[in-house]
Amino acid sequence: MASNLTTLMVMAAQKITLKATTHFNLKYKINFAQALSKMKHQIIQLTLLIGNDCLFLIHRTIKYISRTVEAVRDGRSNPRKLKNIKNNIHFTAYKSAL
């Protein structure tokens, strides 16, 4: 439920972010981890509030989420470097039975 509500809020906040960052060189997108962190505190309040108070909280949360953006840099991908692996077949959590 939290993930679905967060996704809806992020979709609304992304539209605000696109309008606000059109003059920048890079593209920006919402930081979903920050949005989920904010939503876990707001879900209880959203379920308890009714009417205009709920709408105010939704708009305030979307506004907050729209400010937590990260730059998207195209072509930036590095493979993970796994360190201290003695055996390439098994991960360190698995021990040999012999």
Nearest CA to 3 out of 45, 44, 32, 30 is that of: 32
Question: How is the chain split into domains, by residue range?
Answer: 2-72
Non-local CB neighbours of 24 within 8 Å, separated by 6+ positions: none
The helix/strand/coil state of 39 is helix
Sign of CA dihedral 28, 34, 38, 43: positive
- List the beta bridge partners of residue 6: none
Q: What is the pTM of this model?
A: 0.69
Please, what's the b/e burial string for 30-65 (b: 16 or more CB within 10 A of its CB; e: otherwise)?
A: beeebbbeebeebeeeeeeeeeeeeeeebeebbebb
What's the start-to-end Cα distance of the chain, in Å?
46
- What does each of the 98 residues of the chain score in pLDDT, given as a tens digit? 888 989 999 999 999 999 999 999 989 999 999 999 988 888 888 888 877 888 899 999 999 999 999 998 888 787 777 666 555 565 556 566 55
